[in-house]
Structure 1
Amino acid sequence: MGVPNNDEVANLPYRQPVAAEHSVLHLLRAPWLIPLLALALGARLYQLTAAAIWGDEGSSLLLAQFPLAGIWFHAAHDVHPPLYFMLLRAWIGLFGDSIESIRMMSAVPGVIGVFLGTWLAHLIASRRATMLTCLLLALLPTAVRYSQEIRMYSLMGVWLLGATLALVYWVRAPQRRRYLAIYALLMAAAFYTHYFSALCVLAHWAYLLVLRAPFAGAQRYIARRDWWLANGAIVLLFLPWLPGLIDLVLHMDALEVGGDVGWEPAVTLRSMPSMLWQLMAQDDAEGMPLWLLLTLPGVLAAMMVYVVCTDRSRYRFATLVVLYSALPLLVLYGVSFVSPVFIERYLTAPALGLAIILALGIDRLARRFKVLALALLLAVLAVEGVGLKNNYTVDADDQFNDLVAYMNRHTQAGDQVVLGDMFWYLTWGYYDQSATAPRLYTPPTAAGVSTRPNSYGFGTLIDENAGVYLDHLQDLPQGNGRVWLVMSREAPDEFPSIPSGWRKIDQHAGGDTQAVLYEACHVPCGTR
């Protein structure tokens, strides 16, 4: 008798453990695994340091500088939980804070996520589908992009894929409670990494509800005491963070004032297909004709329907993968008509499932329509190739670090620096070598209302009593009479009014940002 494939294993009697030929050790012996994981690593290391650190990344580095208690406090006033920043602090302590090192903190989880997705496919599908999953995940553009940023999104994918794996193991062998213990720990870690991990839990509950329909034995899953205890354990593990989260929700207006929430664009009917293009090709497709805009989303939707309709296995694991991806997409899209949160990086972890769905669909098509399956695979790889090209395209003249490097070379002792935007403040400290303490320009509105950040969002990273904020340029101390103003290049609205006694003596652009050096004369310039 031949070795059963995974679909056949899924139809074996209830409480059937994972067969030896589908164990993780068997996967590790696959000759193609290491080359494809090396491809995943190479995709994430290529151009890893090409783009300068931007504002969100700078906030990660600033927060990671605090001691653990400080991270806990300040993250409670920010829009993200503390775990990633604590791990980043530990990572920097071990490997240093070079840009290569700190971005590796995301690249490594990105490769682990590829392996976990491959492991999941290995458990639920054929060998061919498993290899295709590894290939498509290795090259998935959104996964590569957020494996190259100093943010928590690739780590979030590790926790959520790991938890989904634990769920699969438990469904196969519900008497083995250790799988639920692992599930609870991974989901708790996910909640301490990003609040939208709740959407994965929602997908898991939806899966168990779907699972109970086909056969009577499945009723045990959604109603099992162990399942409820595991979810209760997740809540208990998250309880220490709950007061901070409640306080944050109560001060949502403070976050809106600082621009930390409420900046997201409103969604339209084009937003969903545009998002799918962004995830798969790093292109929002806004300039595409309607027929082309709908092509890729149509293929993805058809693959989801096809995978679900052909999922006749006992445990419906392919349906689980579809729910893992589709439900967060649909929920965030629907919610965004009320409060916009439909942002690519928030969907990077669910997007990992898209590669698995495509691999499952192509594998099943290949059983009857080999030419069609091959054409679809080549088309998907072409789209991913375009996405990688877009991701790697970095304008060397549009980098904030070059602007700061110019200032480092031309700054003199006693020079003062005033930044016109909080995002530049978040990034400045990483690149500055002049030891110049910058100020953040916060002019009152015409009605006299302060524009200083409050203690929530990015404002929590700044000590209000440290003399960082500057409401009026005239309030600068005399110093050596030289002031650098960092502002937008195209529309420098940050400094609509320059004191009449100031004379521009230098200017350097870094893409859409510029540094302008003024001689701040306290007597008419040129009379000294």
Structure 2
Amino acid sequence: MRTQLCWVLPALAAGFAVSYQAARPGPWRDEIASWSVATRTVDQIFALGRNIDGVLVPYYLFLHYWIGWFGDSAIAMRVPSIIAMTGTAAVVALLGRRWWGNTAGLLGGLLFAVMPAVSRYGQEIRGYALATLFVALATLLLAIALDRSRWWTWTGYGLCVALAGLSHLLSLMVLAGHVVMVLAAIWRSGRWRALWWVLAVAGAAGVVLPLTRNGLGQQSNQLNWLETATPRALADVAGSVFVAPILGGAVPGLAIAALRRKHATPAAVLWAAVLLPVGLLYAYDQLVAPIFVSRYLLFAVPLLCALAGAGLIALRLPLALAAVVALGAIGLPSQQGMRRAHSSFDFASAADVILDNQAPGDGIIYAPRDGWQATDLGVDYYLRDRAPRDLMLASDEVTNASLWATECADAVKCLGDTKRIWVMAADNIDPVFRATATNQLTYGEKAVLKDYDQLAFWRVSGFTVTLFVRED
């Protein structure tokens, strides 16, 4: 087998899988939030970071400049994640090849390429895919540096650690596993490598912390929708990370098989880089503040796939490839679902209803305005300056350095004599219930609309859109 095919084939497979129909699903609320922040000025992005999403400021700054170069269509904003997941497949293969040979690398890289989680977050306008790439690359460079210590390998390692932290701060939990790798190397060949590691990590921290320090105490603002994780959530984390629960059992199962083969020590330290971050995240959730979200552990997927590739080499190559194909087939329903929609909130269809039926002078009420549905931001993304006048707006998200606008306190005054009023109401998230024409409105808004007739009513996924009119 030619060495190049070991990593080229997985990269090609991942590139195809992740980019296939990547423009089809509309941005969901997290992606809409990324767009909203990234299209602000640099000063406004930093201002927001002092209130919320401080750890995401580096990603927002990157996306800000990316949009300036390539535009803000959904596919344009998803390209960095597509590229990142494509590159990660190659890194998985190289990581497996380094410890277990070309066949293990090929199998691990191909397995990674067909995982639904790879396509899902490779089509996400967030920093998860970038963090996944840099964690995998940092792990590979650490393995190289610990075998042959050179200043450029340590520099590359430190750079990747920094880029991982800048993409998503919690990805730095992998350093707990890297400590185990360093300790194993010390046991084999002396202490100098530990000093190089400390210097590399310190340099990375010096880059990451100044840009993310505002976010370190923002859990109560950013994750107030979370409750403390249960043991059941911990038990289900693999299924959640892999998107499909069956794959969350099968891939780690194959990864365990790597411990029984030659070179079990690399398998053990790679397992440490998977398990220790899970334990750290769960412990923080239990002892400090709720934070246990499975997608924060996405960076474990390439490490587990590299291990699974090592487990698969116990089989003959045709049978091992058949196993990879079978596991990919198991994920096909998830792959198909995520290419239809990334969430149950169909912003595009709701915006189309308004665009196709509005008239000059129309106004709109967004409800609820203080939740995570991003109702107004979604309409802003699709309609821009074609949206009806925001009747209840007192100060917008940019002015507030936030993701939420402030509404007018006096509905009678703000709605005024507007003759046609749209109500775009989003389904409630917690507790879950369906929006009607008025059940998401404030008392004042309901009182004013009693003098209006309901002219038309539309239901799209996640939203109820209603047009009220008042006859003179």
TM-score, with structure 2 as normaliser? 0.85
Q: Which amino acid aligns with 1:495?
A: L
- Tell me, yes or no, if structure 1 residue 46 matches structure 2 residue 20: yes
SS at structure 2 position matched to 1:52: coil
Q: Which amino acid aligns with 1:429?
A: D
> Relative to 1, partners in 2 of residues 1:360 and 1:218: Cα closer, same or farther, differing over 3 Å?
farther
- Tell me, yes or no, if structure 1 residue 483 matches structure 2 residue 426: no
Write out aligned runs for 1:10-21 (5 A).
Answer: none
1:115 aligned residue:
90
1:153 aligned residue:
128
What count of residue pairs does the alignment treat as equivalent? Answer: 453
> Relative to 1, partners in 2 of residues 1:101 and 1:372: Cα closer, same or farther, differing over 3 Å?
closer
CA distances 1:357-406 after superposition (whole Å, capped 9, x unpaired):
2111111x227xx8986785455334333432343354999622111011
**Which of 1 and 2 has greater Rg?**
1
Write out aligned runs for 1:97-496 (5 A).
Answer: 97-174=72-149, 176-213=150-187, 215=188, 217-222=189-194, 225-241=195-211, 243-245=213-215, 249=217, 252-253=219-220, 255=221, 260-280=222-242, 282-283=243-244, 299-312=250-263, 316-338=265-287, 339-363=289-313, 365-366=314-315, 377=324, 379-394=326-341, 399-422=346-369, 423-433=374-384, 434-438=386-390, 460-461=401-402, 469-488=407-426, 490-492=434-436, 493-495=439-441
CA distances 1:323-363 after superposition (whole Å, capped 9, x unpaired):
22222223223433343322232121222222112111111
> Relative to 1, partners in 2 of residues 1:123 and 1:46: Cα closer, same or farther, differing over 3 Å?
same
Distance 1:203 1:459 in 2: 40
Distance 1:296 1:98 in 2: 32
SS at structure 2 position matched to 1:354: helix
SS at structure 1 position matched to 2:167: coil
Q: Would the aligned equivalents of 2:229 and 2:292 in 1 still touch at CA under 8 Å?
A: yes
Q: Would the aligned equivalents of 1:366 and 1:374 in 2 still touch at CA under 8 Å?
A: no
Higher percent of residues as helix: 2
Q: Would the aligned equivalents of 2:171 and 2:299 in 1 still touch at CA under 8 Å?
A: no
Distance 1:454 1:54 in 2: 18
Q: Which amino acid aligns with 2:278?
A: L
SS at structure 2 position matched to 1:507: strand
Distance 1:211 1:395 in 2: 43
Distance 1:480 1:399 in 2: 27
Q: Would the aligned equivalents of 1:116 and 1:161 in 2 still touch at CA under 8 Å?
A: yes
SS at structure 1 position matched to 2:421: strand
CA distances 1:37-66 after superposition (whole Å, capped 9, x unpaired):
332122112231222212111111111112
TM-score, with structure 1 as normaliser? 0.77
Q: Which amino acid aligns with 2:451?
A: G
Q: Would the aligned equivalents of 2:131 and 2:299 in 1 still touch at CA under 8 Å?
A: yes
Distance 1:226 1:307 in 2: 29
Distance 1:299 1:43 in 2: 20
Q: Which amino acid aligns with 1:159?
A: F
> Relative to 1, partners in 2 of residues 1:488 and 1:270: Cα closer, same or farther, differing over 3 Å?
same
Q: Would the aligned equivalents of 1:82 and 1:193 in 2 still touch at CA under 8 Å?
A: no
Stretches of structure 1 that go unaligned for 5 or more consecutive residues are 1-20, 286-294, 443-451
Distance 1:473 1:229 in 2: 59
How much has 1:204 moved relative to structure 2? 0.6
SS at structure 2 position matched to 1:487: strand
RMSD, matched Cα: 3.2
Q: Which amino acid aligns with 2:68?
A: G
CA distances 1:282-333 after superposition (whole Å, capped 9, x unpaired):
24x6xxxxxxxxx7666555444432343536xx333332222222223223
- Tell me, yes or no, if structure 1 residue 88 matches structure 2 residue 63: yes
The share of aligned pairs that are identical, in percent, is: 20
Distance 1:424 1:355 in 2: 38
Write out aligned runs for 1:24-39 (5 A).
Answer: 27=3, 29-30=4-5, 33-39=7-13
Distance 1:267 1:479 in 2: 49
